[in-house]
Structure 1
């Protein structure tokens, strides 16, 4: 019966002459002069011929070898093979040929017959290197998955890889902000799971988890990237809010009543987003997740082109300076920065001043909005045509819809949205929010005075609690 060689030992059978006494001796492998670890394993290619050498065969002139696979002598197996110089030669290698083989050789020393039994682990492989890039079979390309808001959701990617010796698969999930692959981030993912589905293929599965689905997640796309040494494969999907089937509760009522209720439902569904924004704007939840706010106001704008003869603002105080702060030839964004911070004492956040360069723009914007009490957007045609500026406004609306304590105020400098042709690239969420969000209108000729209704209304809309360190100076 073949002996298992699972421990670092060497089995030796002793036959003493014609006596029926068998002595089994166990010795350390390292004590043998003819031991090479690399002889204990062999890789054979399927559908090709292959040779299996008995370890330590070169240490003796005796080439008489008996081969076993498992507990069965190889000579009793019904397949084509031959033995040459102590090697086992397989005419054609098949997948079932993988396994542990044993070879017995007899050596006579000092009238003692020694039987050396060595084991060889044979692995049948289709190839050494992969021939093609992985194939992503799930999810399908351009798939839309249904999700439930305020619930966790798992994204699962299944990719099939070619077998290779140095197998190092890559499967990653990315979230693309606003659908742009140039502005994306890695999702939280589980470890890779590998399953050998056939001799030539290995299935690799990886899941990514969204802890809590929000409306903002519906505006992004999600990409699975699978790669090996040959190349990469990608699949991008979107998320869609799951529609719950609700059976009419007025079954049996007159048809007219049902039509009225259905009509109201259609109207509410059509204007639901606008109503939700109006409700959150005027009745904020006041939920800040226990985080300390760093800024009073996040001021978002696109700097207007400088006008000829524009004046720089003075940092002096008093009635004269307050009047200079509202000169019509000074851009509104410059006036706001001085009045809010230097005169009213609010802690202001300006991206070009207070956000460190070199980071991910989308992450910096979302984090800064979360750490501010109020988002103030100075809207103009240039603003709505700027993708980065529209992203700031979109993030603020999303934060408002996510039960945040954030206040959001718009200042129109080029008229009301009804008088502007919004770019087709603007998001639907932004277009609908512009119609209902609290807003003020700036007119260089009517709003420049310190006592104008614009500055009075703006002061009333500011946060009650200031965290700024500058002592406020009232404009009289």
Structure 2
């Protein structure tokens, strides 16, 4: 005989030698099995003495008999001597195929070798009337909305090898899953309800069920309130010397967290305790406020002295997972810090400077946007025929003249006239041959709102160009009848050879430089040209 079975025989023999037959186990907590009428139930034999090392399923193999008893309310103790058609002895378990309401009661088993026996603890079987699929005996579960939950089928340890056959029903009608556990990845409000797990079992070619019902509740997640220091944060208080003052430090917490918090005053890294000092901390008090409480710790100054001024007094809130500190600085009355006054002034000046710099840098963009927004047009009531007179200072170099003429006769009109709706007067294009007299030039200039002068480094003005230039500059600078726009087609390295009036325009803000990147109509070159040209609704 193996050693472990010899141990049990010796244990049972010793029990018999000392106290004879052990009729019942000492009370160690009841075990109750809940089921419904018509379902299968199984009771396990549980020996109350934990010193028996034997596996109960092997007892009968080695000559130990297992008997089951039922303490019925009306007929007393009933012994199950063998298998019946409905109640079966399954090794060390008692099976019901199915259960009836009359099966309710206390059950226990005994293990015997013919001479001595040990009796198990009592197991209570509670069989209720079957009132339909969903019933009141539901295992409670809850989860916050938006989180996941894994629902197990409770108390099915005796059927661990069959759990994958469990069928899950939502509200006891809708089949939602098959398997040992049902997982809801993201709980919603509609996820709440009754869930039934049904384990089908077969006995004698008849199917029986073991069911459990779970009641799932979906809860809104509420962020737990964290204790918070309300006053002071960073305060400056003006007081007079010799004045008596009490300053209250206030914190707020919920009813549960307040027991784990401390609120106290600190000065120079030392606690301020009550006593006969000029400065001390008075007893704290708790004031209920709705579902929360306020904790107030008063700091008492019996007499304000110079050594108290310009020093930092700290109120400290210490809780389980947070520490917050509020500071108070005392100032002598009438000699307060000028920082609160100076700081806003400095900030206002800084903001003004930033706005001014941004406006100067992006003034052209702001003006163009404003013109487009209000559809402003300066060309409606001045009786001018042209928006600009284009003056090309020709060069003796044919190649350079060709580039300049292409810019003046093709590029400039293609953008200003075709894209932006301006009307240009270009002498070479718009004045008929044979009519280029000085009076004709002056009359055309007088019909224009702007004078566009195209200048390059290699320009050597001819007589006709020079007359046009001087006439236009006289109108622009002396009579102020027309505003000049100077386009620097090529960089000007030496301006000494230019007329003095032209040099003045070069140094003004009415000068625009042509670059290789200026071909796009959205470039800065064309935006500045539009800015210098009269406002006109496109």
Normalising by structure 1, what TM-score?
Answer: 0.29
The higher radius of gyration belongs to: 2
Normalising by structure 2, what TM-score?
Answer: 0.26
Greater RCO (CA < 8 Å, at least 6 residues apart): 1
